[in-house]
């Protein structure tokens, strides 16, 4: 750099031009600083050997809660996520107080953008294993599953609805590892297992009873509860009649929700279910209820499913497609 002590002004100028020629006099440009910073960050990302979670539906009600639960478990959130209409970047706060993660949203109908994002994600997250979590919307379930199958992406599908048979057959045919379940709440999964066991052990024991199901969710929920549909199949085995899931009483209006016991502050995010078995003569009634405010239990169960799935994929397990009963039975929750 330019000398100040000793030499004349003209010596200093000469030295400056010498340094300039050697490329030493110019401060690095903002672009080269940014490039070096990005390279350093990418090297650090590639050195991470843990689990990366691609959180599709990140901006939705489940998305950010699941991302936080995954960060609490020590996973990282992948730098890209598929969205519906959302684009741009979302900053995901670290519940442990670390730096936030910047995630670029790519709308799922931008096929080229999604392909590029997955290629880039596989490169940047190459040191660890990637698990996709899907909390999107019923109409996206099948197309998204086909996309994961095409790209060999292991996934946890929390989204309800869509064509569930097609979802299973595409996933099973693809060879990817997946956990697919309409409910990730540990205690609800345990209840599902108990009713399933009861139906196996005592089929038809409620032969002269009638099944009634009511579920209430936030008004934005578009489909009938996937949990209610799954439990209906088990409860129906206890009765003598088939149960049509179209009979499930769906509550989506504020007045009905409040009357069903939903606290006002949870109107925007709740899942209340009542399954009732009533004797035909009207003298006896059994009720089973799970009333959940907020989404914490589902978010934590999802993070457990991610851990379970990464373990199965890492060990090359023969069985590839699981549900939450498998996760619970194997002590994964
Ligand atoms: N298994 C379980 O335990 C639980 C399941 N669920 C289910 O999860 C699903 C999501 O619920 P919730 O978070 O409340 O819903 P929200 O409507 O709040 O969020 C959905 C998100 O999905 C995004 N999205 C919409 N279409 C697509 C698409 N084609 N590809 C990618 N992303 C898309 C939306 O993005 P954008 O804003 O950009 O359009 C939005 O961010 C529902 O099916 C619900 O029933 C919910 C709780 C627990
Ligand atoms: O949309 C929700 O909120 C929920 N969806 C799932 C369902 O459809 O059963 C699970 C839970 O009820 C919350």
Closest residue by Cα to residue 132 from 156, 98, 103, 104: 156
| pLDDT band with cut points at 50, 70 and 90 for residue 22 | low
Task: Give distance in angstroms: CA of 268 to centre of ligand 1.
Answer: 14
Q: pLDDT tens digit string along 192-205?
A: 999 999 999 999 99
CATH number of this structure's domain 186-294, picked from the four choices 3.30.465.10, 3.30.360.10, 3.90.870.40, 1.10.1060.10? 3.30.360.10
Mean pLDDT, rounded, for 273-284: 97
Which ligand lies nearest the alpha carbon of 290? 2
Q: For the chain, where are the alpha helices, taking DSSP H only?
A: 9-21, 30-47, 61-72, 111-124, 141-150, 164-174, 186-201, 226-238, 254-259, 296-315, 324-329
pLDDT at 21: 65
Rounded to whole angstroms, how far apart are CA atoms 56 and 119? 16
Which ligand lies nearest the alpha carbon of 146? 1
| pLDDT band with cut points at 50, 70 and 90 for residue 9 | low
Q: Which residue's CA is the closest to the ligand 2 atom numbered 1?
A: 221
Would you say residue 177 has pLDDT above 60? yes
Classify 43-176 by CATH class: alpha beta
Q: Residues enclosing ligand 1, CB less than 6 A?
A: 56-57, 59-63, 82-86, 108, 135-138, 140, 144, 158-161, 181-184, 220, 226, 295, 298
Is the CB of residue 136 below 6 angstroms from any atom belonging to ligand 2? Answer: no
- Asked if residue 34 lies in contact with residue 24, where contact means CB atoms within 8 angstroms, the answer is no
Question: Where do the structural domains in the chain lie, given as residue ranges?
Answer: 43-176, 186-294
Q: pLDDT tens digit string along 140-168?
A: 999 999 999 999 999 999 999 999 999 99
Is the CB of residue 160 below 6 angstroms from any atom belonging to ligand 2? Answer: yes
Closest residue by Cα to residue 66 from 131, 135, 148, 125: 135
**CA distance to 58, 89, 103, per residue, from 100 (Å):** 14, 12, 10
Mean pLDDT, rounded, for 60-68: 96
φ, ψ at 161 (rounded to 5°): 80, -165
**CA distance to 69, 124, 262, per residue, from 65 (Å):** 6, 24, 21
Q: Does the complex come out with an ipTM higher than 0.95? A: yes
Q: Considering the entire predicted model, what is its pTM? A: 0.91
Q: Is the Cα dihedral 151, 156, 160, 163 positive or negative?
A: positive
Indicate which residues carry an active-site annotation.
217, 221
């Amino acid at each position: 750099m330019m000398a100040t002590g000793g030499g004349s002004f003209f010596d200093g100028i000469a030295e400056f031009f010498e340094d300039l020629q050697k490329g030493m006099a110019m401060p690095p440009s903002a672009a080269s600083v940014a490039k070096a910073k990005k390279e350093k960050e990418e090297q650090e990302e590639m050195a991470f050997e843990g689990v990366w979670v691609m959180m599709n539906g990140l901006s939705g009600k489940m998305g950010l809660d699941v991302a936080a639960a995954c960060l609490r478990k020590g996973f990282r959130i992948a730098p890209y996520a598929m969205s519906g209409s959302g684009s741009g970047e979302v900053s995901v706060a670290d519940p442990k107080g670390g730096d936030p993660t910047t995630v670029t949203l790519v709308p799922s109908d931008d096929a080229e953008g999604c392909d590029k994002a997955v290629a880039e994600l596989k490169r940047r997250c190459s040191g660890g294993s990637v698990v996709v979590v899907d909390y999107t919307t019923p109409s996206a379930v099948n197309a998204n599953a086909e996309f994961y199958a095409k790209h060999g992406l292991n996934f946890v599908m929390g989204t309800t609805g869509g064509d569930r048979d097609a979802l299973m057959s595409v996933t099973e045919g693809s060879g990817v590892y997946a956990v697919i379940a309409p409910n990730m709440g540990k205690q609800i999964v345990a209840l599902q297992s108990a009713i399933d066991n009861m139906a196996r052990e005592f089929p038809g024991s409620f032969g002269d009873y009638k099944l009634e199901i009511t579920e209430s969710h936030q008004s934005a929920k578009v489909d009938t509860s996937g949990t209610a549909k799954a439990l209906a199949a088990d409860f129906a085995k206890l009765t003598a009649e088939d149960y049509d899931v179209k009979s499930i009483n769906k509550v989506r209006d504020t007045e009905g929700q409040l009357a069903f016991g939903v606290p006002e502050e949870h109107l925007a995010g709740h899942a209340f279910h009542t399954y009732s078995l009533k004797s035909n003569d009207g003298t006896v009634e059994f009720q089973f209820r799970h009333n959940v405010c907020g989404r914490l239990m589902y978010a934590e169960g999802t993070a457990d499913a991610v851990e379970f799935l990464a373990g199965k994929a890492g060990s090359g397990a023969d069985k590839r497609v699981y549900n939450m009963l498998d996760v619970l039975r194997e002590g994964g929750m």
